Amino acid sequence: MTAQLNPRGDVAVLVPAAGAGVRLGPGAPKALRPLAGEPLLVHAVRRIAAAPSVHTIVVAAPAADVGSVRAMLAPVAPVTVVAGGAERQASVAAALAAVPAGPEIVLVHDAARALTPPELVESVAAAVRAGHDAVIPVLPVVDTIKEVDAGEVVLGTVDRSALRAVQTPQGFRRSVLTAAHAAAGDPLTDDAGLVEKQGVPVVCVPGSEYALKVTRPFDLALAEHLLVAGA
């Protein structure tokens, strides 16, 4: 029996949380690193569980930590925990395979985006519910972007007005995500990329500054400040 949140909800959220977090420096797997005293994954799951449409949450944890992650999340929300894979894509596929019958909308959300507001979960889900097969939250790119060669010499300047920085949760009609993973080849860094390869249009909705991905030590410090300030 899979743990459920809102039995009338129509959304399953997959949380890949099996990454090592090499760019954060030595330490525990990234999703288990503390942010203001609690693991990133706890913050992330608490916010997902606060979104009213969510029926099911499936977390892909590092294989060695499945038992401890299950115990850690039990007081936070009803969550199914599976072992992740060597690449993010394999972790998402493992979580997708554990979604029970019912939810027809599937969101994929990085544990590392620990401060993502429940409202963003709802707005992505709403756009899928409204008829879009694939939906991604995005922000405009603020820096000027240069393309460089292997020697760090500039080849050219990219027109940033046509660029978007992509966040999670990314939302999909369940059948579309399942088909995209079944057809997947080389690992990509996001799920929308797999769906794009299937020729499915991917629609953008406004993202959130709070959905920043904790990747480097600076991001962890920034996230702590945001939490103290009430995020």
Q: Return residues touching ligand C5P (CB under 6 A).
A: 16-19, 30-31, 60, 84-88, 91, 110-112, 189, 213, 215
Tell me the closest approach of the beta carbon of residue 12 to ligand C5P, in angstroms. Answer: 16
**Residue whose Cβ sits closest to ligand C5P:** 19
SS3 per residue for 48-68: HHCCCCEEEEEEEECHHHHHH
CA dist., res. 223 & res. 231, Å (int): 9
> Cβ closer to ligand C5P: 84 or 171?
84
> Cβ closer to ligand C5P: 15 or 134?
15
- Please report which residue ranges of the chain form alpha helices under DSSP H: 40-49, 66-73, 88-96, 118-129, 174-182, 191-197, 217-228
CA dist., res. 224 & res. 163, Å (int): 29
Helix (H) or strand (E) holding 11: strand 11-16
> Cβ closer to ligand C5P: 132 or 180?
180
Tell me the closest approach of the beta carbon of residue 150 to ligand C5P, in angstroms. Answer: 23
> Cβ closer to ligand C5P: 16 or 169?
16
Measured in degrees and rounded to the nearest 5, phi and psi for residue 38 equal: -130, 145
